[in-house]
Structure 1
Amino acid sequence: MSMNAIQFQRGLSLAQFQAQYGSEPQCERALVAARWPQGFRCAHCGCKRYFLTRNGQGRQLWECFLCGYQSSSIAGTVMEHTKLPLTVWFVAMYLMTQHKGGISALALKRHLGVSYKSAWLLKHKLMQTMAQHDASYRLQGRVEIDDAYLGGERAGHINGGRKAANKSAFVAAVQTRPDGRPLYVHLTPVADFTNQDMRQWAQQHLAPGCHVVSDGTRAFAQVCQAQATHERYVTGGGRQGAQTPQLRWVNTVLGNLKTSLAGTYHSFDHAKYAGRYLAEFAYRFNRRFDLPAMLPRLLKALATTAALPLKVIRGSEASS
């Protein structure tokens, strides 16, 4: 049996991480380079000239030469108002990108030496950034899709419908390469698998001209409303349905997702936060071809994503 080159590729080792991001100045320089790759530009007037100064907490500030507006490297980003050192953020990014199965907020608390509240908030800001960063991509070419659920007795298939206790519906979609192997995945929460919900999902997540392969769920025919062609297989439920060769990769992804969530999280409020946990899994999957680059790419997303208000991040306590 040949070795899977993707699975056995070199990641970003702990020694390499420490060498690149082991101190606060190193993290600051990396963040500044990610936020202003062409050099500082004032957010108020666009001026490129500035003075360097520091605030009362010792954080470096860029003061615009023209209008006097002061900005730190984290102002206007997801990290705005954080009281945690940048090194803590970078360790969290390292753990969330280099661990295949992810890491819970409780485990982050122990690794980072911060309170559970801080670890939970940091993790959810990172997950929300991942979700927003991938949301605009539309799947192309051949796409396998399936209806799936979080919670309940069976997480992968319909069992009493969406309204069954403790179940949240989502669409699993996998874009495959010309050689048939998976390339990109979308895991998107939906209200239900109705014609209206699937039509809206298809218009948002499918590029015109793609070819969709699905099981017998009737609402999936709505992908044609997004100018996609549709190939349907009535597979039935259980093991037989999961072994349908035309839907091999979407079922494989769902199996890996279930294993990842069960092995990492004791529980979480999927009714509120399913989108983020699904996005975290998808973010790592979609960038699995280059593990060392995953952290700098997430840093770039953090540096260019607008600040996330607390009310957006935290609707209630989570139990992850």
Structure 2
Amino acid sequence: MRLVIAGGGTGGHLFPALAIARALKSEDPGAEVLFVGTKNGIEARIIPTTEFPIRFITARGMMKTGIINSILSAVEIPVGVLQSIFLLREFKPGCVLGVGGYASGPTVFAGRIMGIPTAIQEQNSVMGTTNQALTKIVDRIFISWQDTEPVTPSNRTILTGNPVRQEVLLSSREFPKQQDEFRLLIFGGSRGARSINQSIIDNVSSIAEFADRLRILHQTGRDAVEEVKSAYEEAGIQAEVKEFINDMGSAYHWADLIVCRSGAASLAEITALGKPAIVIPYPYAIGDHQARNAAVLEAIGAVRVVKDSNLMNGTLLKEIGKLIDNGELLAQMAENAKQAGRPYAAREIARELLNLERSPR
């Protein structure tokens, strides 16, 4: 099979796409996968370091405001469609999959024009703008949440869960533990989260009573490493503070409790591994999808939710303190998370794409 995967822009779109690409190669070792993205997205940096090729098109988001952006979108979207048509003619894929992000729309639309089977994969409980626009023209819609909005259930819609990278699922490292040691992983996405970092800086002394047994791994992003590190040192807490954690699989397996945003990729990884978490929805997410993602898992007791607006009053640290000494609740949260996890989502999507390519049109 030859598959084009279009989209990216952020890790939330790209990493599930990579999981699908690798699952397809496992199902069909002769498969060829081509990524299509933009030069400004994360895919331009990440894909060249993988085993997959990438091509770039011109694309711009439809949500951009202002007259200049509206004019540029009106010009660039047709250009992107034409570029995609030429690209698809050259590669001759059996299927085109859009994963959200700027490049997804023109490429999937071009595939539809050319009569190539098309599909989209939505990571969040609230569908992104590009995917919303494509729902009426694609052959398959892969969703990650039962109540994804605004999707009308049909025989084209398949609930798969959000794909998780194998390197996250299958970390082989062992982490021997000292008695009573409690391990806390904190991160706010690939670039960190300023409000989470500031909450730690301002309030970390409130969990200093656990310093003798608490071990923390904290991904801050570029600008807060030294300040966060100093805050932990002043509180007497042993912490490893990093700009970026390269091996997230090992970090997840190491942790007893996770603190993070409620992006779809993070929640998919947490549930696939059965890890308890405190999540802080990003308040400016489009359609407030992070809050909705979090609410689904909070309702089944898999996560605790802290509002971003409550970070500065110490609520996050209070929640951490409550959970450190409540092993029974942590175990129940972990079990609830595992029940919600779908670790084989990538494989399911890969198999559906193979079936889609073979099905009569």
Scaled by the length of structure 1, the TM-score of the pair is 0.26
> Could you state the TM-score of these two structures normalised by the residue count of structure 2?
0.24
Specify which structure has the bigger relative contact order, considering alpha-carbon pairs within 8 angstroms and separated by 6 or more residues.
1
